[in-house]
Amino acid sequence: MTKSFYHFLLKYRALKPRDEISEFANAAYEDHGFPKQSKDYYELTNYLELNGFYLKSMSTFDHVWDLYKQEG
């Protein structure tokens, strides 16, 4: 995993979000406090649990995290 989770997530951004992943990616892009350099699962989950009001379910994050690990 050479790139941060945030940079991985950005590839799912879409002008017209078609699923929960693209909605998450768009919202994270707009979230100026998102930990953009993080590669740490616990840092990201803690941030999202406290600030990720835009995330419908943490299972969406977990799914994208699994994709991130597979690519890394």
pLDDT of residue 2: 82
Whole-structure pTM value:
0.92
d(C-alpha 35, C-alpha 7), whole Å? 11
What is the pLDDT, as a whole number, of residue 72? 80
What is the rounded average pLDDT for all residues in the chain? 95
pLDDT for the residue numbered 8: 98
Question: Is the pLDDT assigned to residue 1 strictly greater than 70?
Answer: no
Query: Token digits for 7?
Result: 């940079």
The answer to whether the CB of 5 falls within 8 A of the CB of 20 is no
Set out the domains of the chain in order of their start, with CATH numbers.
5-71 (1.10.150.260)
